[in-house]
Structure 1
Amino acid sequence: MTLTTEFECVELPLADAFTISRGTQETAENVVVRISDEAGMTGVGAAAPSVHYGETADTVEAVLPRLLAVVEAVDDPHALAHVERRLRETVNDNPAARAAVSIALHDLAAKRLGVPLYRMWGLDAEQSPKTSFTIGLDTVERVHEKTAEAVEAGYPILKIKLGTDRDEELLEAVRDAAPDATLRVDANEAWTPREAVRKCEMLTDYDVEFVEQPVPAEDPEGLKFVYERSPLPIAADESCVTLEDVPAIADRVDIANLKLMKCGGLREATRMAHTAKAHGLEVMLGCMVETNAAIAGACHLAPLLDYADLDGALLLDDDEYDGIDLTGGEIRLDALGRSGTGAQKR
């Protein structure tokens, strides 16, 4: 067998400027990876690096030649555990870069077997939760408009970014435009512990389901303070990056939010999901702003989840790849109709 590899950086325009408490982005730089076998089958994956976790498109492109050299040296798309170990030995950091390789290799392995990825893992597609659709920070008027557009598009679960001095106004606008939607809130580390408790008490008036990352990850005791006093369930995102973080948050949150771009790949995310469950936590899988070349792979983990936040490609104005059908928030793995992750160039 002879595997060949390649990668390219793509700049993806967003349908609307996307703002969270840390800043605004209008485009997303992803690095698409392709791994092909001698029969011409190609697996695709992508990295969506985050500066918050120390990665950029440039750092991804800098390490990918070393990572892909491992893939070519092992020369077996089904040796997933062996390749994963070698990738980590070669580049211990740069999880988004390793995730891109992981997704592409899993895509190719499942294609060679002629099955969708979730079936290669033996998962039950009917257990997939619906994904949320994210409403970023904006003016009160624009948040109302974006919420109404999401409702009209059929998304029943909305994730609302907060972390401003207008938080209640924004929630009022969202609830007015979406009176029947399930609402989740993400503060992206913006609040102090005492402020977070007050905010959580306010959020109960708007029938919010849970609150994600209310305080900075650097304040684990503050997170525990909120968890012990909040009337709403608490989820950890920035406080839950790698497998080793799961036991550390088990006594201070209700939900662990995993991301492929934080942990480095599909196998590691699977281990994190099982570990979180073993510690009594519920599990959510989130994403960055990502092409379907990345999101499609993440969707196949949906049967392991309690909650999904896999709308990264839905926020794009244009994407060269199609992926899993997420119409109305449904993750339709059993309607895929093709093998692998389902990512396919248009």
Structure 2
Amino acid sequence: MPLKIVFKPHLLKFKKEAGTSRGVMTQRNSWILKVTDSDQPGIEGYGECGPLPGLSIDDIPDFEEQLTSVCETFNEMDLEVFPFNLSIILEQIVPEHLPSARFGMEMALLDFMNGGKRIIYKNEFSAGQKGILMNGLIWMGSCENMLEQVDQKLSLGFSTLKMKVGAIDFEQELTVLRSVRKRFSKDEITLRVDANGAFQPDEVNEKLKRLSEFDLHSIEQPIKAGQHDRMAEICKSSPVPVALDEELIGIFDYREKFALLKKIQPPFIILKPTLLGGFQHTKEWIEIANRLNIGWWVTSALESNIGLNAIAQFTAASNNTLPQGLGTGQLYHNNFESPLTIKNGYLFYDLSESWELPEIV
């Protein structure tokens, strides 16, 4: 019998408001996929599609209708999946303008091929033997609230903090950074900031100069994506190393990826598989970055634990030693229970814990 894929919407609800320069989120939509084969009863592969509001190119009103069409096409084609034909199936079935759908289907098929046990990539992390170093995320809020978040993350053992900037008063954001640096040197606590493209091109140089006082590891996407000449200038002159994030979204052709990174020459790139079209596309960005001596790390895009688990296992397989952005699993009231756990700033896969998965028919 052919493979069959079905899905179910799931509305994720934040425990606290999540503030960025693009606005405040209290909930987000996700669609959970399930792959089965009647000839292999009991084996179920799970995936997750979750366009990120205001950022994903498939954050569109009719996403569910288009996902339905993709699944119907898949179910009509009498397919079998193997490692050698997975990328071909994805290219033929899922349009490029639905990157989160491609990511979700790729994840579900990989899970199915590995026996339907939520082991997407077999490595020391998924075997419960090794953790992944992470940064602790500080959401935008009042100065007092952000300082509270800093103390909370430090108490949990994080040695790298990533702070959202660009939405509240810049002086208040500097106050938070100053407070951390008064207490901890760069050798004790690594600081990253993420502007989400919030700085204006005519003010960015001054703001980067002021931010450089705090020995920052990097700043993500200081100006809006698409200004390649200006971004190349910033990357060359910035006293704070720049990491591209939104700049990568919507680029799927290998040659275009290479041309972008060769032109801008950023010190780092940030990789979000949900936004980039899945693991195969993410691997291409990594290969190009390595060729051009550009550093990189992987970040989740507010997925549930189903998507986060797959991203974490992919990241572990890449053997990247930088702190990764994989701490979003604790954000929701109604996340799915999973073996994912955080200890002393590391993400672990605890084999003694079990999965709670949705019923999808």
Deviation at 1:44, TM superposition (A): 1.0
1:57–1:35 CA distance, 2 compared to 1 (3 A): farther
Contact kept, 8 Å, 1:144 with 1:173, in 2: the verdict is: yes
Work out whether 1:237 is the aligned partner of 2:245: yes
TM-score, scaled to structure 1: 0.87
One-letter identity of the residue aligned with 2:344: G
Distance 1:182 1:122 in 2: 23
Q: Percent identity?
A: 20
Cross-structure match for 1:310: 326
| Structure 2: unaligned runs, 5 residues or longer | none
Cross-structure match for 2:190: 182
Which of 271, 295, 304 is matched with 2:284 structurally?
A: 271
Distance 1:253 1:206 in 2: 20
Deviation at 1:194, TM superposition (A): 4.4
Distance 1:144 1:310 in 2: 21
1:74–1:270 CA distance, 2 compared to 1 (3 A): farther
Judge which range, 120-129 or 313-322, deviates more: 120-129
Cross-structure match for 2:36: 36
Contact kept, 8 Å, 2:20 with 2:167, in 1: the verdict is: no
Work out whether 1:299 is the aligned partner of 2:312: yes
Work out whether 1:66 is the aligned partner of 2:69: yes
One-letter identity of the residue aligned with 2:217: E
Describe the superposition over 1:152-180 as per-residue Cα deviations: whole angstroms up to 9, x where unpaired: 22222211110146234224325535734
1:217–1:121 CA distance, 2 compared to 1 (3 A): farther
4+ residue runs of structure 1 moved beyond 6 angstroms? Answer: 120-128
Cross-structure match for 1:331: 347
Distance 2:140 2:36 in 1: 41
Cross-structure match for 2:134: 131
Distance 1:284 1:294 in 2: 17
Distance 1:101 1:295 in 2: 14
* Greater fraction helix: 1
Work out whether 1:110 is the aligned partner of 2:114: yes
Judge which range, 271-280 or 322-331, deviates more: 322-331
1:82-161 to 2 correspondences below 5 Å: 82-90=85-93, 91-111=95-115, 116-119=119-122, 129-161=132-164
How many pairs are equivalent? 340
| Structure 1: unaligned runs, 5 residues or longer | none
Judge which range, 174-183 or 92-101, deviates more: 174-183
1:152–1:120 CA distance, 2 compared to 1 (3 A): closer
TM-score, scaled to structure 2: 0.83
